[in-house]
Amino acid sequence: MLADVARVLLSRETIRQRVAALAAEIVAAYAGRSDRLTFVPILSGSIVFLADLIREMPVHMRLALIHLSTYRGTQAGQPRVVADISHDVRGRDVIIVDDILDTGRTLTFVRDMLAERGPASVRICVLLRKPGKAPPSLHADFVGFDIEDEFVVGYGLDYNDLYRNLPYIGVLRPECIAAADVAPG
Ligand code: IMP
Ligand code: MG
């Protein structure tokens, strides 16, 4: 598996430090009302990030997992709910957590769906953000790193459901990406 990685983009230590700082930002943003927080991680990509993030946050919080499927290979697809959250988010300060903001399709879909359920607020936290593709209407409130528009794996991010367990974020060797997944042009 390690031989498939062409380049490490974000090391384990770099991620660890930024995630701790991001957790502190979130706690500060909800100072005095952090006991109403419900985190909604989008499965499966956000799990590693989420696990590290919440352990840096000494506040009362709830977790409500949502399972979506969005991707085939490296080509973006339409989000689909595989398993909805089982919690009531009415009156809660919701923070949707995802691994990466790319086109914004996934987060727009989840945000709009949860906004209809009467939460006190809905904000968005992503570990990574790619430039330029998300519409202005999709604002990420908490962002770990801005990265270039290239396909990355590790720390929860997958390629065809593989590589999520890499402890860092890296770029795959081109020969590891199936020819069928390379966009024409
Ligand atoms: P969006 O809907 O286009 O914003 O894409 C968000 C989802 O696509 C993320 O939750 C990821 O699962 C996946 N995704 C986007 N870019 C990458 C990438 O570079 N590597 C792995 N997954 C990605
Ligand atoms: Mg994915």
- Whichever domain contains 111, its CATH number is 3.40.50.2020
Domain limits for position 37: 12-149
172 lines ligand 1 (CB under 6 A): no
Count of structural domains within the chain: 1
54 within a domain of the structure (yes/no): yes
The finding on whether 104 has its CB within 6 A of some atom of ligand 1 is: yes
Residue 4 in domain: no
Cα 38 to Cα 94, 111, 135: the distances in Å are: 5, 13, 25
**Domain assignment of residue 179, yes or no:** no
pTM: 0.93
102 given a catalytic annotation? yes
Give nearest CA residue, ligand 1 atom 3. 103
pLDDT of residue 178: 78
Q: How far is the CA of 102 from the centre of ligand 1 (A)?
A: 6
* 40 Cβ below 6 A of ligand 1: no
Would you say residue 38 lies in a domain? yes
Q: Is 133 domain-assigned?
A: yes
- The one-digit pLDDT tens for each residue of the chain (185 residues) are 888 999 999 999 999 999 999 999 999 999 988 889 999 999 999 999 999 999 999 999 999 999 998 655 555 678 889 999 988 999 999 999 999 999 999 999 999 999 999 999 999 999 999 988 889 899 999 999 999 999 999 999 999 999 999 999 999 998 888 755 654 43
Evaluate whether residue 47 is within a structural domain: yes
Residue 109 alpha carbon, nearest atom of ligand 1: 2
- Does residue 127 lie in a domain region? yes
Atom 9 of ligand 1 has which residue's CA nearest to it? 100
For position 177, what pLDDT does the model report?
A: 85
Residue 45, in any domain of the structure: yes
The ligand whose atoms approach the alpha carbon of 79 most closely is: 1
What number of helices (H) and strands (E) belong to the chain? 3, 10
DSSP 8-class letter at 100 = E
Cα dihedral value 136, 138, 144, 148, nearest 10: -50
Q: Give the distance, in angstroms, between the CA of residue 128 and the centroid of all CA atoms in the same chain.
A: 7
**C-alpha closest to that of 57 among 28, 33, 36, 85:** 28
103 Cβ closer than 6 Å to some ligand 1 atom: yes
In this prediction, residue 185 carries a pLDDT of 35
Residue 31 Cα to ligand 1 midpoint, Å, equals 31
